[in-house]
Amino acid sequence: MKKYIRQAKRFLTVDVWRITPKDVSPLGYLLVSIVKKLTLAVKFFFTKGTGDSAAALTYSTLLAIVPISAVVFAVARGFGFSKYIEEWFRNALSGQSQAAEIIIGFVNSYLVHAQSGVILGVGLLFMLWTVLRLTRTIEQTFNAIWQVKHERTLFRTVTDYLAMVFLMPILIVLISGISIFMTASVDRAQGYMLLAPMLQTGLKVMPFFVMSCVFIGLYIFMPNTKVKVSAAVAPGILAGVAMQVLQLFYVHGQLLLSSYNAIYGSFAALPLFMLWVQISWTICLFGAQLCYTNQNSEEFAFMANPEEISHRYRLLMSAVLLSKICSRFAQGKKPYTALELKLETNIPIRVTNDLLYNLTRANLINSSVCHDNHDGDLIYQPARTLERITLGTMVDRLEALGRWDMTLDLHQQLASAQWKRLFDLRKAYLEQLRDVPIRALFPQEDAQTHGMFS
């Protein structure tokens, strides 16, 4: 038994990453790719603190659910859709019916007390701030999963999230209308032997379809980076199905919780609702991890953690990226994106993004949003004139990144002649490196630099 466990462990950690399309059939390689992506998703889920993020989002959701629901209900009432929204809310929390009624009661009370004088303005501002705060927290969590260093600007945050909140009631009403239409169609088609079963099946499948679409949209929209639709479809469907299974479990598991309710009474709704929210966020974040690995899965090098790469190798790869950015700028061509640099150098995308972020912090390159397409990709250009970007400048600035704690008095320890000689040697070393222009490392006619990290 131990032998098989060791073999399975070796296969998942080493052997599976060495399989190429030439080694197996197309179907076999598809299965290998699925194993790779699931392995990466599980690894990152447990090593990157995603479970802790789910717990933090659960706490933020409990604080924000009443104000956010109040915003949605208020917008719906403005359009005359309040009855549909309440019905949808009860159906969405059918496994937590007691919690749903409590939340609806809180929302109605919140809206009643927010309809007079100054309370209206303060209450409205608080509701909007709560919406933005929760969605910002969700975005930061998704950005951490996607290794994105740059968040949305404040203007984009306000406009995108408020548009989402105001469109949500309309989408809910449309979904409710389609559900009502399909239910009526099923009732009218009872006499048709073929049509009635098809419509009934469609009505049963519809919640799974809607929930899957919600997760696909969330995985595409929420991270501040380009997410391919093809990479989000499978994780979105899995997350949507898992959420519906969780819902069915809670609905049919109420009998198993009867003793729990008998002990805690009405208070039992709170811990059960918290558990439901945390499991829901866990499903959501695991789907986001799977979406990330689905889009960025590579060979064994993908497993490299940027923090574990040696300082010397980081400098080498930084020089490669910076020289290509400078060469592209000198030729007057379109600036590189992170993905284009990854494809040219075969440096894993996580490492590429990390190195570009540090080069930006060191004021060696600038990043800006590309307006030639609608994907919002970041493009990178030199931050200084090309003559002033040398290998010595890059090494000096990258080594100076981070916090310098000047509270330590090291003057006496560093005042000896040996330390002075060491500083002079380092200065001479950097001066020699400053004679090497960074763009001269890889001339344009040198075609052998392509794929040097493959």
Do 354 and 147 contact (CB within 8 A), yes or no?
yes
Place of tokens 């409205």: 124
- Measured between alpha carbons, how far is 147 from 250 in angstroms, rounded to an integer? 34
Give residue 441's pLDDT: 79
Question: What is the tens place of the pLDDT at every residue in 82-94?
Answer: 777 777 777 777 6
Do 248 and 254 contact (CB within 8 A), yes or no?
no
**Which helix H or strand E contains 367, and what residues bound it?**
strand 365-369
Q: Other CB atoms closer than 10 Å to residue 17's CB: what's the count?
A: 18
The one-letter code for the residue type at 76 is: A
- Measured between alpha carbons, how far is 275 from 128 in angstroms, rounded to an integer? 26
Averages of pLDDT over runs of 10 residues in the chain (454 residues) are 75 67 78 80 79 86 80 72 73 70 77 57 68 83 83 75 72 70 68 68 80 90 86 92 84 59 60 84 92 71 63 90 90 87 81 88 85 66 89 89 67 74 86 84 52 45
- Measured between alpha carbons, how far is 99 from 93 in angstroms, rounded to an integer? 8
Give residue 281's pLDDT: 92
Question: What is the tens place of the pLDDT at every residue in 22-73?
Answer: 777 888 777 877 887 888 788 778 877 787 888 888 888 888 887 777 777 7
Percent of the chain's residues with pLDDT above 90: 11
Give residue 233's pLDDT: 92
- Token pair, residue 355, equals 């190195």
- The reply to whether the predicted model has a pTM over 0.75 is no
- Measured between alpha carbons, how far is 275 from 253 in angstroms, rounded to an integer? 14
Give residue 453's pLDDT: 46
Quick one: CA torsion of 339, 341, 345, 346, rounded to 10 degrees?
-10
Closest CA to 96 of 243, 254, 210: 254
- DSSP states along 225-285: S---HHHHHHHHHHHHHHHHHHHHHHHHTTTTTHHHHHHHGGGGHHHHHHHHHHHHHHHHH
DSSP-based three-state secondary structure for 314: helix
Do 358 and 398 contact (CB within 8 A), yes or no?
yes
Give residue 136's pLDDT: 83
